[in-house]
Amino acid sequence: MGSSTTPSSIKIVHAVLSLDCGGLERLVIHLCREGVKAGDRVSVLCLNRAGELAEEVRLAGAKVVSLERGPGLMGPLGAIRLRRALQRLAPDVIHCHQLGATLYVGVTALTMDSPPIIHTEHGNHDYRSPRRRLLGYAAFRSMDRIYCVSQEILENLARGGMVPRERLTVQVNGVPQPPGDHRQGHSMREQLGIPEQAVIFGTVGRLARVKRQERLLDAVAELAGKGRSPYLILVGEGRQRNRLEDRARELGIGHLVRFAGFQRDPAPYISLLDVFVLTSDSEGMPMALLEAWAAGKPVVVTAVGGLPDLVKDDETGLLVPPGDHPRLVEALEALAGDAQHRRRLGDAGRTLVAERYSVNRIAAAYREAYLSLLQHRQDRP
């Protein structure tokens, strides 16, 4: 399908369901930006819809193609449209990022002169159900390589039994270092009506049940009851928003909470925080955490998914058991009252991102994989 290529220029297609707001989608944007910088021709193929972040991909110099697929399983007409889109894009490499995209693109590619295809598993899925196991088996069998963003996700996928463990590789996520100084502190505090000396907690992510932002509301309410009056910024949109707004009012902290909604670039809000917090029930390798570290922010996270491997307690952040309200309050209160402790954890996180999780390092690792697969194809008799 792809044209003859040289290492100086590759035609790469990233396949997703959509470019709606989320950590996976932000990683795709970063990979597009780095690919364009490397001189590659990069496109994003969206099976369902383009999404809110499509413009970010275009601004990065990459192309966005959306099939606008309807709900339900893809029918024959959808499969024909997908096949034609891949033929027009003529990629040298396809990089899939979601199980649905991997399934449809992989099965379609089997009927064509297919380029190498890789898949990145970004989160934990329940592969115990026969239906999901069948879909996973059908999707993964056509992949040349399969990457997982954390060891915990790799173990989960291996336990599913659809992919031999030796075919799985950990490839962590990455984020760019914030350009310059994002701290527009004084003006943003004024806009949000937050006093200059107030401590600000906050988080970035979908307002979804699994993220359990109500735990953060409960903790802030307890701290407010102790006279600390911290402020809280929730960046993100989702089905839980009305419920969370009601919860804040019921707790009597509506005046302390700011719902920032969807933000294409959450960096200015992250830079405003004194402490970044994740209270989720499940996480893979959250991009928002890496972005908080890159901005030098101390983090408090629940010990779920890949987070205990990512965050070293009291070295690069504070770990609390999920649902342990007293421990969460204790962690937030300790950091609220100790600027030096906040600075030490934030500096450690920034150093860790620079050494291990910079997006140029991760993009270079993926590009090396692309080139290796292309070379392997060329070397085959």
Of 332, 280, 326, nearest to 306 (Cα)? 280
The predicted structure's pLDDT at residue 2: 53
Q: What is the pLDDT of residue 311?
A: 96
The whole-number pLDDT of residue 330 equals 97
Three-state SS for 223-275 is HHHCCCCCEEEEECCCCCHHHHHHHHHHCCCHHHEEEEECCCCCHHHHHHCCE
pLDDT recorded at residue 380: 66
Same fold, 11-174+358-379 and 185-356: yes
pLDDT of residue 109: 84
What per-residue confidence (pLDDT) applies to 127? 80
Exposed, middle or buried: residue 273 (CB in 10 Å: 0-12, 13-18, 19+)? buried
Query: What pLDDT score does 198 carry?
Result: 93
Please report the pLDDT score of residue 3 as a whole number.
47
pTM above 0.85, yes or no: yes
Type of residue numbered 274: D
Our separate counts of H helices and E strands in the chain read 15, 13
Which pLDDT score, from 0 to 100, does residue 376 have? 82
In this prediction, residue 373 carries a pLDDT of: 94
Backbone angles phi, psi at 38, to 5 degrees: -80, -5
Strands 231-235 and 257-261: parallel
Domain borders along the chain are 11-174+358-379, 185-356
CATH class of the domain defined by 185-356: alpha beta
> Is domain 11-174+358-379 classified as CATH 3.30.230.10?
no
Burial tier of 165 (Cβ tally within 10 Å: 0-12, 13-18, 19+): exposed
- pLDDT < 50 regions, the chain: 3-6, 182
Task: Please tell me the predicted confidence (pLDDT) of residue 179.
Answer: 64
C-alpha triplet 106, 107, 108: angle, nearest 5°: 90
Over the stretch 277-327, which tens digit does the pLDDT of each residue have?
A: 999 998 888 999 999 999 999 999 999 988 998 999 999 999 999 999 999
290 touches 354 (CB < 8 A) = no
Separation CA 206–CA 259 (nearest Å): 12
